[in-house]
Amino acid sequence: MESLIAKLKQEKNLTDAEFKAILQQDFPESLLFSVADAVRREVYGDAVFIRGLIEVSNYCKNNCYYCGIRAGNCKAERYRLTEEQILDCCETGHALGFRTFVLQGGEDPYFDDALICKVVSAIREKFPDSAITLSLGEKSKDSYRRYFEAGANRYLLRHETATAEHYRLLHPDDLTWENRKRCLFDLKDIGYQVGAGFMVGSPYQTVHHLIADLRFLQELMPDMIGIGPYLTHKDTPFANHPNGSMETTLRLIAVLRLMFPYALIPSTTALGTIHPQGRELGLKAGANVVMPNLSPGDVRALYTLYENKRYSGSEAAESLELLKKQVANAGYQVVCDRGDVRRDG
Ligand code: SAH
């Protein structure tokens, strides 16, 4: 077991059978976590980077079977922020110390390219010292290029699952693994810092799918990797599928840290939702980013990707002091800069 962890650290790779062994429940996790933590400290020290998450719209034209804001969920109460509201969020965030703003949303046609570019340019102009991250789903390469030219630096687009057949079980026919992959490579080609990732324990997922996810990430070499447990939402076709496992998520965070020492890996809201200490445990397993919610207070409850999604306490950007304490208690330090990727770390 120890030799497997040593091999993973050394070669940043394992055979499929070895990955499978490491992901199994009986594989001792404490050594895995401590080696991952040591590697993270080698590259990033004890820094935990913060990103202000602005959920710009919960309208979505897509119908992903797992997601609470899917088009088909007529029980979802919909909202979208105005340009002014988004800029206000950035203003608030900047004053708190945030230097990265993440604009995430459903695929809302109201946010067309012209509007997205207008919002991005306005943020770029007002906050030249800050990174702008977009997470607005699948677009054409031309659109991605226009956002980049308007001033966006980073793009988060989880690949969700790197197995075409599994992708088809999670999404309707108009959404394909081929197009998801195309988007990620287009983003990279344009020059974005790119984030990919997947849900752990999504319906029908097997360990083979997880290994395919790791292999895909080796091919993409993303700057950021976001993973979190799949969490049930009652108004989706997957209402009867159980939540994913926190333990497997933590194990995968550690494995990802060892495979991609340079990566920015968030300890996600989903992890903080499934367990009260989930976010701290994520940091201790190798994660080095947290993304508190910077959306206007009155819409936070509406961006319901899954049930019980946390948005108060230290998940709330305005509670940064509380977050700093929690991060310090876990043995790390919140850092208020752009926190760009350290490829040569
Ligand atoms: N529309 C954007 C943003 C999606 S929301 C896009 O397509 O990229 C961000 C992420 O939340 C998704 O990529 C997905 O991995 C995750 N998510 C959605 N529903 C979820 C659920 N029920 N449980 C856990 N994570 C979920």
Atom of ligand 1 nearest to the CA of 156: 8
Does residue 55 have its Cβ closer than 6 Å to ligand 1? no
Ligand 1 atom closest to Cα of 62? 1
Please tell me the distance from the alpha carbon of residue 238 to that of residue 118, in angstroms, as a whole number. 37
Q: Is residue 117 part of a domain?
A: yes
pLDDT computed for residue 155 by the predictor: 98
Mean pLDDT of the chain: 97
What pLDDT sits at residue 46? 98
Q: Would you say residue 345 lies in a domain?
A: no
- Domain limits at 273? 2-12+33-333
Q: Is residue 212 part of a domain?
A: yes
CB 281 within 8 A of CB 29: no
Distance 71 CA to ligand 1 centre (A): 13
Q: Is 67 helix (H, G, I), strand (E, B) or coil?
A: coil
Q: Cα(196)–Cα(177) distance, rounded to whole angstroms?
A: 13
Number of domains in the chain: 1
Indicate the pairing of strand 333-335 with strand 224-229.
Answer: unpaired
Is residue 293 within 8 Å of 319, Cβ to Cβ? no
Q: Is the CB of 195 under 6 A from ligand 1?
A: no
Q: If pLDDT is split at 50, 70 and 90, which confidence band does 82 have?
A: very high
- Does the pLDDT value for residue 1 go beyond 80? no
Give domain status of residue 221, yes or no. Answer: yes
Q: Could you tell me if the CB of 291 is within 6 A of ligand 1?
A: no
The answer as to whether 340 is a domain residue is no
Residue 45 CB neighbours (<10 A): 13
Tens-digit pLDDT profile for residues 154-205: 999 999 999 999 999 999 999 999 999 999 999 999 999 999 999 999 999 9
201 lines ligand 1 (CB under 6 A): no
What is the model's pLDDT at position 54?
A: 98
126-138 mean pLDDT:
98
Minimum-distance ligand 1 atom for the alpha carbon of 66: 22
Q: Is 101 in the pocket of ligand 1 (CB under 6 A)?
A: no
Residue 173 lies in a domain: yes
| Residue minimizing CA distance to atom 25 of ligand 1 | 230
Q: How far is the CA of 230 from the centre of ligand 1 (A)?
A: 9
Question: Is residue 25 included in any domain, yes or no?
Answer: no
Q: What is the CATH number of the domain that holds 213?
A: 3.20.20.70
Ligand 1 neighbour 127 (Cβ under 6 A): no
pLDDT tens for 194-236 read 999 999 999 999 999 999 999 999 999 999 999 999 999 999 9
